[in-house]
Structure 1
Amino acid sequence: MKKIILISLMSLMLSTNVSADTDGENSLSKKNSGDVKDCFEGVNRATFKFNQVLDNIIFEPVAKAYRVLPSPIRTGTGNALDNLSNLVTIPNNVLQGEFTKAGVNTGRFIVNTTVGVIGIFDVAKKIGFPEYEKEDYGQTLGVMGVGTGCYIVLPVLGPSTVRDTVGSFANLLGGDVWYNVTVANNTQHFSDFDYYASRLGSGIDFRAKNIDSFENLEKNSMDFYASVRSLYLQDRQQKIANSNAIIETQNDSDWEEIENQ
């Protein structure tokens, strides 16, 4: 259990969903990020700098090495990791009353896990299943009306809020479900290494897709910390509202487009 938590924390840090469309003026950093208060800004800024050091020393170099791999390998890896994350998304669909989406994502998971070889090939998309949308327990708490609480920057984990931090612990329990479904009950096809590698690989895959965009954001920001805070909070608000509009942010598919340009 301890190893599971450690690997999950590293993955969460790497896959922090912060995205941006920046300009030289960096007007976003000057905008109010809703009603969320930065109650611990001094501590948050110090933690933010600490996380930047870790990223520069460890995570970014690993992500750059990952980008050297052939595109089909990276695409297959990303597909498989997205498929496995259904084990967190599906219960959150149910908790949010989105039973149709829960059924669709269950169908996607079954098709891709079997015909798609553990999700390496997104067969479900090819046969007409709707695009996959991730859900997590932080989003579910938001849909249920739980307030965000103060903005927090967690060591290693990165940007969060009080509500999302609580949700992250539930996401870790979702990781235990993944472990029980695969490693514990189906050792013919999975091993402990597969589980741990998937958690870490998810973060590396996302970080590799966003290297250029993160660098551009930092370069064009008058206050990098404020930009990340604003964009993170906007992104979370969009996800909770299930909004398809892009409000000065971009989702994972947009990052793919940037990478392929």
Structure 2
Amino acid sequence: MKKILITSLISLMLATNVSADTDGENNLSKKNSGEVKDCFENVNRATFKFNQVLDGVIFEPVAKAYRILPSPVRAGTGNALDNLSTLVTIPNNILQGEFKKAGVNTGRFIVNTTVGVVGIFDVAEKIGFPEYEKEDYGQTLGVMGVGPGCYLVLPVLGPSTVRDTAGSFANILGGDAWYNVTVANDTQHFSDFDYYASRASSGIDFRAKNIDSFENLEKNSIDFYASVRSLYLQDRQQKIANSNAITETQNDSDWEEIEAQ
């Protein structure tokens, strides 16, 4: 049970973490994005405030330190983390009936893991593979017709919905091959630390890429909480619909990773 709780926290933490100034509710806070209801807005806003403090004390300083690293190091780290996330994307491609994409992503993973040195170099893209698009179990549930449920802001983990939160637990129930070979099973080559470190690194990478975006969004929002809610829900809906429409969101392609991932 302890491993499950720790894994679920790290799997979603920084990649979905967004902090907000929750003072002064106004008309924007009364509007929900699409049909998703903010059933627990008072609690969500309190959690947002908690996340803001946590972000200022821990996440943002670590992300700023990470940005000091040379660009090639950060790029290689991001590529390797994306390569690992393919292990979640492939089964979701299959569940969604996108068998061609599953084949392409399998090819990407093989090429990048071998020739690309565990994914540090995105060799697959250079030789003509289509651009990588992440898929997760929350998206798959949406494709299957499961409604999002209420909007949630999770401690540390950030914006989510009931559906996306449920989908994230699929990773620790056998849906993530990387989790299976590191945490779920004892192997001679990998350990629990390898999984936890990769999840935390994914969150740090996401936060570092979006330091300026988060600051600008907060500065220019009448109600930062409402803005983040709207952007998150729009982004999730577009990913479920495989839409190419432009959403005013952060420059990372995924809010879960952790991230969801």
- The answer to whether the superposition gives a TM-score over 0.5 is yes
Distance 1:43 1:253, change over 3 A: closer
Give the equivalent residue in structure 1 for 2:259: none
Give the equivalent residue in structure 2 for 1:16: 16
Give the equivalent residue in structure 2 for 1:145: 145
Q: What displacement does 1:182 show? A: 5.8
Listed as ranges, the gaps of 5+ residues in structure 2 are: 19-26, 255-261
Verify the 8 A CA contact 2:13 2:200 in the aligned structure 1. no
Give the equivalent residue in structure 2 for 1:187: 188
Give the equivalent residue in structure 2 for 1:235: 235
Q: What displacement does 1:248 show? A: 2.9
Give the equivalent residue in structure 2 for 1:259: none
Letter in 2 for 1:155: P
Verify the 8 A CA contact 1:80 1:118 in the aligned structure 2. yes
Give the equivalent residue in structure 2 for 1:61: 61
Give the equivalent residue in structure 2 for 1:258: none
Residues 1:173 and 2:173 are matched in the alignment = yes
Listed as ranges, the gaps of 5+ residues in structure 1 are: 19-26, 255-261
Verify the 8 A CA contact 2:116 2:122 in the aligned structure 1. yes
Distance 1:144 1:135, change over 3 A: same
Distance 1:47 1:178, change over 3 A: same
Give the TM-score normalised by the residue count of structure 1: 0.86
Paired positions, count: 246
Letter in 1 for 2:85: S
Q: Where in structure 2 are the equivalents of 1:25-36 lying within 5 Å? A: 32-36=32-36
Give the TM-score normalised by the residue count of structure 2: 0.86
Q: What displacement does 1:195 show? A: 2.3
Give the equivalent residue in structure 1 for 2:40: 40
User: Whole-Å Cα distance in 2 between the matches of residues 218 and 11 of structure 1?
Assistant: 25
Q: What displacement does 1:199 show? A: 1.1
User: Whole-Å Cα distance in 2 between the matches of residues 111 and 101 of structure 1?
Assistant: 15
Q: Residue 116 of structure 1: SS of its match in structure 2?
A: coil
Give the equivalent residue in structure 2 for 1:159: 159
Query: Identical aligned pairs, as a percentage?
Result: 87
Distance 1:146 1:168, change over 3 A: same
Q: What displacement does 1:85 show? A: 0.6
Letter in 2 for 1:65: A
Q: What displacement does 1:155 show? A: 1.1
Q: What displacement does 1:173 show? A: 3.4
Distance 1:191 1:166, change over 3 A: closer
Give the equivalent residue in structure 1 for 2:121: 121
Verify the 8 A CA contact 1:142 1:148 in the aligned structure 2. yes
Q: Residue 16 of structure 2: SS of its match in structure 1?
A: coil
CA RMSD of aligned residues (A): 2.5
Verify the 8 A CA contact 2:7 2:172 in the aligned structure 1. no
Distance 1:51 1:246, change over 3 A: same
User: Whole-Å Cα distance in 2 between the matches of residues 187 and 130 of structure 1?
Assistant: 34
Letter in 2 for 1:99: F
Letter in 2 for 1:217: L
Distance 1:162 1:172, change over 3 A: same
Q: What displacement does 1:16 show? A: 1.4
Letter in 2 for 1:2: K
Give the equivalent residue in structure 1 for 2:197: 197
Distance 1:59 1:119, change over 3 A: same
Cα deviation per residue 1:191-217 (whole Å; 9 max; x = unaligned)?
Answer: 443322111101000110000000110
Q: What displacement does 1:33 show? A: 1.1
Cα deviation per residue 1:210-261 (whole Å; 9 max; x = unaligned)?
Answer: 000001101111101000100000000010000111033355269xxxxxxx
